[in-house]
Structure 1
Amino acid sequence: MTDSAVMDRYAAHLRLQRGRSEHTIRAYLSDARSLVGHLEREAPDSALSDITLTVLRSWLASLSRSGSARTSVSRRASSARTFTAWLFREGVLDADPGARLVAPTSRRTLPAVLRADQAAAALTAAESGAAQDDPLALRDRLVVELLYSTGIRVGELCGLDVDDVDLGRRLVRVIGKGNKERSAPFGRPAADAVHAWLGVGRPALAAPASGPALLLGKRGGRLDQRQARSIVHDVLSVVPGAPDLGPHGLRHSAATHLLEGGADLRVVQEILGHASLATTQLYTHVSVERLRAVHDQAHPRA
């Protein structure tokens, strides 16, 4: 097989057998092509069967020298292990060199989060902007309300269809990573935003290309992630002192505020759609104020 044919089969494997999203597939293919390109530069007459542990280490070292962050190098090492394991199962490699590849440990840092009053100010600003029933303002309000109320990912938000929203039970059905389905609850303000959007905003923007998409761009197509990020940045820009966050920051803020309100960590895990509780523990943090409150309530010498 040619390298192109191998990549096509690898993409099909990621899509059909691993259930990866299109965004993840593009990233994995980009990493695989980067690795192959490095091999060809180091040994012009080489083939995929010449990928060894030395080649993998040399590739990662070149990424580090070019300025890639430790987190990026760690992620690419994981991607390379997936690729070499697949090449081994396909018979392209006699052994899997990725099984012995050790990447630098990434330093996970918590993103900035909104304070509860800043989140309230942002949502109030979005609601006031939608007061004149402008379709785009109604959509922007719904984007911010749903991201903060449910803690869903921006890709999950943009993938929502109208039928995924259950207004009666105030639940949204989400297809998350690994094509796993879950339900995320949302509050009454978000429900009001859904009502306003479906009643006035969406009909004004709907076009033949809209299909079942819940959120639409100004030309009627499904809202894309880049537009959603711009919406969040624009809304937060009017809140004095608020950090410049994107949708991920709203997700983290939602999780943090749930914990500060007394939510169990496993409940937050379910809402966020994390497969492992350890991921939730790394993703969220408990404020000093909540620690003090729990200590005051529970410790006999408080």
Structure 2
Amino acid sequence: MSAADGSDAGDAGDDPIGYFIEDMELHGKSRRTRAEYGRVLRRFEAFLADPSRGPGGGSIAPAAASHRDCMAFVHALRRDPDLADSTTATYAAYLHRFFAYMTQVGAFDANPMALVMEELDERIDTDPTRREISVPQMRSFVAEIAHPLERALIVALLKTGMRVGELCNLDLRDVALSRNLGGVATDTRAQLDGRPDSLFVASEPAVDESYNGEERTASNKRKRGTVVPVDDELAETLLRWLAIRPDAASPADPLFVGTGSGWGERLTPEQVGRVVRSHAEEAGWYEPGAGAAENVTPHYFRHFFTTHLRDRTGDRGVVKYLRGDVGDDIIDTYTHNWGDNVRETYERHIYSLFNEDAGARRVGST
């Protein structure tokens, strides 16, 4: 974005964040992107407004923030146990772009994040070396999870490589199985027609926006919707969960809902994170403050999926398709020949989490 679009920096007024988000819309940024920036920038604004948190001991506006204020905010992010270092780096980049733009259009005098970003490059590893866990070790880990919901959450993450927000945003219409869904009636999406035993992970859901009749608490970050195969093991796990799943409180009919205090309500990424953390702690795979290099979190399962499936297939394209990391030109190649390029490759190589054999069979096979 640039000042050459005719934007009047004087319109920034008392809400520079709102001004920035509006300009993002004018520059064609998606609602999901604007929502992500808005959430992080409002968190920064709230941090500055709290006199007990900033280094200066007072309440200030974003326009008055110094590099020390920005560094204090980033330090607070790094202490958040629910944020990986890579996520902290992403949030810092959002803040940097905000200040750079506001400086460029003349609303702010300087970009205090410029110096902070130089320091972050040295202090934050955005692609940390993670704990190495073998398939047999992960198989033993899964075997200890008895609760049908908790088992379904973790097996789904391990078998699909989807993000935790994408998992939480799944609705029953996003599931197509050959077997009966435990008496649960579903009208699946058109994208799943002719593709039984699969899940559809959409790209549209965004934080605080209504999708399929429900305001969402998480964003999907896919470049485009993706059809992901379901093997026997994931199908069995989902069926066991659906057999005891409470009626959903939302008309969107979420796939994963609470069985405790939030009975029937869509699970949030924070709730899934607590489930994973609890089991990881029991396995000795989580230590508060240890960071992404040591701790097993929902995002670790995406790393596990990517590493092991890529090593088994030798096909980075299929793995990137399943992760939702590719653009329209590449994804169309796999979508048009989904059965050969995606399903067959996946079924041949996906690791088993229940048995000793190397692969997991297709649903309904012998």
Conserved 8 A contact 1:74-1:103: no
Give the total of aligned pairs.
258
Change in 2 beyond 3 A, CA 1:233/1:63: closer
AA at the equivalent of 2:267: L
Conserved 8 A contact 2:153-2:272: yes
SS of match in other structure, 1:112: coil
SS of match in other structure, 2:253: coil
Conserved 8 A contact 2:202-2:222: no
User: How big is each residue's C-alpha offset from its partner over 1:64-117, in whole Å with a ceiling of 9 and x where there is no partner?
Assistant: 888958868754541223212443577634887878985231323122242100
State the match for 2:334 in structure 1.
Answer: none
- Work out the CA distance in 2 between the residues paired with 1:28 and 1:3: 16
User: How big is each residue's C-alpha offset from its partner over 1:4-30, in whole Å with a ceiling of 9 and x where there is no partner?
Assistant: 633344456668934238566322322
Change in 2 beyond 3 A, CA 1:158/1:33: same
AA at the equivalent of 1:217: G
| 1:173 lines up with 2:216 in the alignment | no
State the match for 1:215 in structure 2.
Answer: 256
- Work out the CA distance in 2 between the residues paired with 1:178 and 1:9: 26
Deviation, 1:192, is 1.5
State the match for 2:244 in structure 1.
Answer: 201
User: How big is each residue's C-alpha offset from its partner over 1:31-59, in whole Å with a ceiling of 9 and x where there is no partner?
Assistant: 35557889x987x99976667xxx44x54
User: How big is each residue's C-alpha offset from its partner over 1:96-148, in whole Å with a ceiling of 9 and x where there is no partner?
Assistant: 7878985231323122242100111223333xx2xxxxxxx221121011000
State the match for 1:254 in structure 2.
Answer: 305
Unpaired runs of at least 5, structure 1 = 130-136, 277-302
State the match for 2:29 in structure 1.
Answer: 17
SS of match in other structure, 2:244: helix
- Pairing 1:264-283 to 2, within 5 Å after superposition: 264-274=315-325
State which of 5, 27, 38 in structure 1 corresponds to 2:15.
Answer: 5
AA at the equivalent of 2:95: A
Conserved 8 A contact 2:250-2:265: yes
State the match for 2:152 in structure 1.
Answer: 142
- Work out the CA distance in 1 between the residues paired with 2:297 and 2:76: 27
| 1:158 lines up with 2:168 in the alignment | yes
State the match for 1:103 in structure 2.
Answer: 118
| 1:228 lines up with 2:272 in the alignment | yes
AA at the equivalent of 1:114: I
- Pairing 1:283-298 to 2, within 5 Å after superposition: none
Deviation, 1:232, is 2.1
Deviation, 1:178, is 6.3
TM-score, normalised via structure 2 length? 0.56
Deviation, 1:165, is 1.8
- Work out the CA distance in 2 between the residues paired with 1:35 and 1:71: 23
The more displaced of 138-147 and 101-110 is 101-110
SS of match in other structure, 1:177: coil
Unpaired runs of at least 5, structure 2 = 1-10, 80-84, 178-195, 204-219, 287-294, 328-366
Conserved 8 A contact 1:172-1:183: yes
AA at the equivalent of 1:187: D
SS of match in other structure, 1:191: helix
Conserved 8 A contact 2:160-2:228: yes
Conserved 8 A contact 2:103-2:110: yes
Deviation, 1:150, is 0.3
Change in 2 beyond 3 A, CA 1:74/1:60: farther
SS of match in other structure, 2:313: coil
Deviation, 1:186, is 3.2
SS of match in other structure, 2:309: helix
| 1:119 lines up with 2:138 in the alignment | yes
- Work out the CA distance in 2 between the residues paired with 1:86 and 1:189: 49
Change in 2 beyond 3 A, CA 1:229/1:113: farther
Q: Give percent identity, aligned residues only.
A: 21
Conserved 8 A contact 1:174-1:184: no
Conserved 8 A contact 2:280-2:296: yes
| 1:31 lines up with 2:47 in the alignment | no
- Work out the CA distance in 1 between the residues paired with 2:75 and 2:264: 44
- Work out the CA distance in 2 between the residues paired with 1:73 and 1:263: 31
AA at the equivalent of 2:29: Q
Conserved 8 A contact 2:47-2:73: no
User: How big is each residue's C-alpha offset from its partner over 1:217-250, in whole Å with a ceiling of 9 and x where there is no partner?
Assistant: 12110011222122223444555x6565221121
Conserved 8 A contact 2:170-2:255: yes
SS of match in other structure, 1:255: helix
